[in-house]
Amino acid sequence: MNSPRAPTAGIVPARHRGQAGAVLAIGLVLLTVLTVLAVAGMQAATLELQMAGNEQLRQRAFEFAETGIEQAMSATGYRLDAVATAGMYQDPTALEPIPIAGHGTPIAGCTDAAGEPVAHCEFFVRFDQAAGAALLPGMNLDAGQRAYHFVVDSFGAAGRGARSEHTQVFYVTGPAAALQDCQAGLGSCTLTPAMRPRRTTWRQRGAD
């Protein structure tokens, strides 16, 4: 009569080995899924942070462009002749001349995160030759005053290539004969406004 064989120590039955392999495979799959989710979450958070930063930079560029307009309107004198702005535009005689980058007036306070001036953060001011010396509604023809319109092209810039271009038209009042005397060479072509400049129209041409 044969006696039952005692189980050998250290030998795992085949059924248990199969279960251990399945648990290991499932664990690896779950670990892979969690890793993918973690990486995707980090990428999404990084993208959202970058988008928020880009929006802040676009807003800074917008504000710099507005600062340029205010700076232009704070001048004590404005030139009525095209000679003063000839080197600032590609074609000064055009209806809407295109400013030449790097030839404008730097916008005060337009700096990057390190405090360095931002390239081409500038504004351009030109006399609206087409408007000339105009009469405003309610302005008396015999009052000896006329409205002189000027155009400001202001370019705000910030980091990551953020840019914002604003065009603002404003007018100041001055002597009725100022433009005529300037064109005839009989007087100064610099108009000293009798009142603070007033905005008339505004548009934002583009923002990146």
Indicate the domain borders of the chain. 49-207
Residue 169: pLDDT above 90? yes
The pLDDT of 12-31, averaged and rounded, is: 74
Residue bearing the bigger pLDDT, 138 or 181: 181
42: Cβ–Cβ under 8 A, 6 or more apart, which residues?
none
pTM attached to this predicted model: 0.77
Euclidean distance between CA atoms 153 and 95, whole angstroms: 14
DSSP string, 150-203: EEEEEEEE-GGG-EEEEEEEEEEEEETTHHHHHHHTSS-SEE--SS--EEEEEE
CA angle 64–66–67, rounded 5-degree value: 60
Average pLDDT of every residue of the chain: 86
